[in-house]
Amino acid sequence: MALVATLAAVVLAATAAAMTMSVRDEGNANRAHTMMSTGSSVAQNPPGGAKYDWDGGHMMGGSVARDEFSFLTHMVAHHQEAVVAAQQLGRSEHPQMRAFGRTIVATQSAQIDQMKTWLATWYPDRSTEVDYQPMMRDLSALSGDQLDRAFLQDMLGHHMAAVMMSQQLLARGSADHLQLETLARTIRDEQHSEILQMRRWLAAWYGAGWRRGWNNTGHGMMW
């Protein structure tokens, strides 16, 4: 019951944030939509100078969790972005962050492979290309505390979106296969646990607590 209550609070907070927040990069009013195929490499960021609206319903919430196929295609793209970002933690000065990055890469890469197998088996005649809107900034030029803090800020919102999407799939009974229900619970529970850990690291290392908003670089959650 404690987990359910905490999860509900996280989902409500993320939903409220999604309704009120938009990300703006400097000086460009063009919406950045990155077309991402589940079989291709991940485009990690919007093009330079782009702006986009972060909307949990559009991005990873209600509309994309409406059925099993939509969940799978969007979650593959979402996981691919997380793997690319987590690989950057190999340069972190915190051993906890390096280990965390390895965990995300291993866990979500395995889940990507599983979901691609299901898509090929269950929906062999359907295109798996999705219009995926990135949620993570480019971490490649960051190091030290800048890298760790940016990753934690962005990945918190990223995980919240996956928790929302997984919970909605389960609540709506949208999965046609028991295997997917099991995976959705795993994603929800694992990433909920990681959300709590990331918030503890932000508080311990940067004296930062969660609040709605965006940081002054135009990316990610404000802490």
- Say what the pLDDT of residue 23 is: 31
What single string gives the DSSP state of each residue in 125-149? TS---EEE---S---TT--HHHHHH
In a domain, 134, yes or no: yes
Q: What percent of the chain has pLDDT over 90?
A: 63
CATH of the domain at 113: 1.20.1260.10
Q: Is residue 212 part of a domain?
A: no
Across residues 193-203, what is the average pLDDT?
Answer: 97
Q: Look at the chain and count its residues.
A: 223
Domain assignment present for 215: no
Residue 186 domain flag? yes
To which residue do tokens 């991402």 refer? 36
Residue 40: count other Cβ atoms within 10 Å of its Cβ.
Answer: 12
* pLDDT confidence band for 66 (50 / 70 / 90): confident
- CB of 165 closer than 8 Å to CB of 74: yes
Give the pLDDT confidence of 105-143 residue by residue, as tens digits. Answer: 999 999 999 999 999 999 999 999 999 999 999 999 999
pLDDT computed for residue 48 by the predictor: 31
Q: Is residue 41 part of a domain?
A: yes
Which pTM does this prediction carry? 0.71
At 29, the amino acid letter reads A
End-to-end CA distance of the chain: 27
Q: Are 154 and 137 in contact (CB under 8 A)?
A: yes
* Residue 98's pLDDT band (cuts 50, 70, 90): very high
Residue 213 lies in a domain: no
pLDDT confidence of residue 179 = 98
Helix, strand counts (H, E) of the chain:
6, 4
Q: Domain range spanning residue 91? A: 2-206
Tell whether 222 is covered by a domain. Answer: no
Task: Please give the pLDDT value at position 38.
Answer: 35
94 is a domain residue: yes
Quote the number of domains for the chain: 1
Q: What is the pLDDT of residues 33-60, one digit of tens each?
A: 332 333 333 333 332 322 323 344 344 5
Number of neighbouring beta carbons within 10 Å of residue 162: 24
SS3 177: coil
